[in-house]
Amino acid sequence: MPLVIGLMSGTSLDGVDAVLVEFSESHPRTLATFWLPYSNAIREQALQLQAPQFDEIRTAALLGNELARCYADAVREVLVIAGLEASLVTAIGCHGQTIRHQPAAGYTVQLNNPALLAELTRISVVADFRSRDIAAGGQGAPLVPAFHAAVFGDPQQHRVILNLGGIANLTDLNPRQPVRGFDCGPGNLLMDAWIERHQGLRYDEDGRWASQGLVIPELLRSLLADDYFASLPPKSCGRDEFNIAWLQRKLSGGERPEDVQATLLELTSLSASAAINTWCGHPDAVFVCGGGARNQALMERLQLHLPSSRVASTDSLGQPADWVEAVAFAWLTWRTLRGEAGNLAEVTGANGPRVLGAIYPA
């Protein structure tokens, strides 16, 4: 009964998703889940490292150590919930915390100290999933489409899986065509940053604050005019492209904060639905995962912009929306251990399938 723990900490910078997954059946079965929020110190350091700063090598190394301890805590908690000993776990798959993503320059950086994580947990660790794909000429992202195809594909129904984390990415699962996928643009990260700045909240629950505002048409046009939205796949993005400074440059300064929030919600819904309409045609259903699946206002706007498709969360497919990415990295870890490719070259643009990640034995 192979057991793998998947750890995911994404661009939202809210914390660590930990899942314990069993791979004895055709589809992975999640046995336990746990979420560990980041401390304010970890969030602030990770945000600061998005841009060059003094003594950043030391800062990044120390933060990598702190993250490894945080990941080890999450591992211990998910094992307590499952009532299992660490010795029963085959491996931990740890994505790490992205602080730079520059595939055009040939690199991506996910902070972690997998050697320390293996030492603290006494469990083998697989980490650094994205670098091999980039070395092979790919974007290094998104990597989840292979998992989406394996778990959510249907021989009769044309589905799109839309992940709304900090960044939004889609996977087109058309049974009559090869799997396609790419990053659409910002998911929750701009909305989260804006509400934290103005209301001190980490996120806009159900889009309630955005629902109090009105979309600013000229601001929305300015945001959507960014070259990224018109660029052709394969493509990926992160905080390097979409961040609070990028938003600030588009503002005149007189906007009501709630109107900006409404506009940011519309940016996410419109850019994602436009990507689906342009590259996926008219799917039968769009299944949403990530934190955005819990934003009722965002889900309603997606349904409005995708009238010919059913919009629902991946909960309805048996995979709770909050945990899909963490399960995906457990799945990628299991493929790495078996010597099987984890990327889809047609998605990332790599020169071919590659076994992803580096293994740190227990």
pLDDT tens, per residue, the chain with 362 residues: 799 999 999 888 999 999 999 998 778 999 999 999 999 999 999 999 998 889 999 999 999 999 999 999 999 999 999 999 999 999 999 999 999 999 999 999 999 999 999 999 999 999 999 999 999 999 999 999 999 999 999 999 999 999 999 999 999 999 999 999 999 999 999 999 999 999 999 999 999 999 999 999 999 999 999 999 999 999 999 999 999 999 999 999 999 999 999 999 999 999 999 999 999 999 999 999 999 999 999 999 999 999 999 999 999 999 999 999 999 999 999 999 999 999 999 999 999 999 999 999 99
Q: What is the pLDDT of residues 188-221, one digit of tens each?
A: 999 999 999 999 999 999 999 999 999 999 999 9
> What pLDDT, on a 0 to 100 scale, did the predictor assign at position 24?
82
> What pLDDT, on a 0 to 100 scale, did the predictor assign at position 152?
97
> What pLDDT, on a 0 to 100 scale, did the predictor assign at position 168?
98
CB of 174 within 8 A of CB of 280? Answer: yes
Long-range contacts, stretch 193-197, CB < 8 angstroms, 24+ apart: 193/243, 193/244, 193/247, 194/244, 194/247, 194/257, 194/260, 194/261, 194/264, 195/261, 197/244
> What pLDDT, on a 0 to 100 scale, did the predictor assign at position 27?
82
Q: From CA 14, how far away is CA 125, in angstroms rounded? A: 22
Strands 29-37 and 15-22: antiparallel
Q: From CA 314, how far away is CA 299, in angstroms rounded? A: 12
Q: From CA 104, how far away is CA 102, in angstroms rounded? A: 5
Length of the chain: 362
Which domains does the chain carry?
A: 3-139+323-360 (3.30.420.40), 145-321 (3.30.420.40)
Q: Residue 141, Cα to own-chain centre: how many angstroms?
A: 10
Residues 6+ apart with CB under 8 A from 207: 265, 295, 296, 297, 298
- Relative orientation angle of helices 189-199 and 257-279, to the nearest 10 degrees: 180
3-state secondary structure of 125: strand
